[in-house]
Amino acid sequence: MAEKSTANALETCEGNNLVRDTARFDFTTLLSLSTAPRAFRFWLIAFICALLATLITFYSIFTHLRRWVRPSEQKHVVRILLLVPIYACISWAGFYWYRDVVYFDVIEHVYEAVVIYSFLSLILVYLGENINAQRLLLKDKAQMKYPFPFRFWTYDPTSASFLLDIKVMILQYVVVRPLLAVVAVVLQSHHKFCMESMAPTYGHFSFVVINFISVTFALFGLLTLYMTVRHDVAHRKVTAKFLAIKAVIFLTFLQQTVLSLLAHKDVIPALVYWTPFNIASGSNAFLVCVEMALASIVHFKVFSVKEYDNENLGLTVAGVPDAERATWPETQHRIGAFTALGQALNPMDILRDVWSAMKYMGLWMKHGLKPEHWEK
């Protein structure tokens, strides 16, 4: 009997407690306890910050939709800008419904993949409107070293396969991340995920390992491309944009990891109604809401619509035929804001690139590296 009890204890998720098994217990119940004033203040501050981040970002997006002069670029800008309100709203929801945070994280992490893809596409559009124009800009590049920690290896940016390999490295994350999210939801619904535990017996362990490998490949590919072309697109403030995106995605990830580690090591004490992991999750959600209010201001400046003012168009579209350039400012009069938003949110370009990457990989594995088969 003692051995059986021990086994059952080991099978219990670390974050389980009496509150988790109480169906009606939620944040509203917490507000009725002795800690109500403090809990309400944190909830209100998180709500105000999330609302502020959302309003600033929506205004920034609206300015782009009203001046839709470069759809091939601005659709990616709009997608990137949406990251901040999604983070803010998801974090606030996770702060309120803390027991269901794994379901909210699914939306957040899936959209991370979209943003990484969008930044890749934005850099490529800065280089040229199609892959041939992009390769033309790279034709005079010398052999370069890979980013740290692989600087003892080199690559050839002029290779016909270089841009295709970078796309594949990033697009695999666009496929892997949503699949992992679906698996996480299924496992959570069967109480087999356990976000609070890193025990191999729970799905969270495999989830973290697979996601780490996938995102590492994606980020390495993105960093390699950035290091290759950063001087060629310096006039587009790519470094500032790269850092703005990195700050949102990777610093918040680091923050969540540190808090989870503190909870796992019992540095964060348990309270009557909250486990250490509940507190770590709630603390992270609160901090993210505050950070996104600041991030929305940074993104408003970095991804400013002023880049598409008439006097700046000549600086940002170098190499584009004058006949095509002359039609761009007129686009804002032909396309309404809702139509522009529909173009930005249309995922068909992502699906086409994913499908093309899968075919490219299939041809590579079957016949060797044949970049000419890449369908643009």
Which tens digit of pLDDT belongs to each residue from 156-207? Answer: 888 877 888 888 888 888 888 888 888 888 887 888 887 767 778 888 788 8
As beta bridge partners, residue 154 has 145
What is the number of other CB atoms lying within 10 angstroms of the CB of residue 38?
A: 10
Run of H or E residues at 50:
helix 36-66
Least confident of 18-22, 230-234, 322-326: 18-22
Handedness of CA 119, 121, 122, 124 (dihedral sign): positive
Distance CA 372, CA 96 (A): 52
How many Cα neighbours within 13 Å face the side chain of 42? 19
CATH number for the domain running over 37-373: 1.20.1070
Distance CA 239, CA 148 (A): 17
Q: Report pTM.
A: 0.80
At residue 327, the pLDDT reads 46
Whether 320 has a pLDDT exceeding 60, the answer reads no
Domain edges within the chain: 37-373
At residue 64, the pLDDT reads 92
Name the pLDDT band for 209 (thresholds 50, 70, 90). Answer: confident
Asked if the peptide bond before residue 147 counts as cis, ω within 30 degrees of 0, the response is no
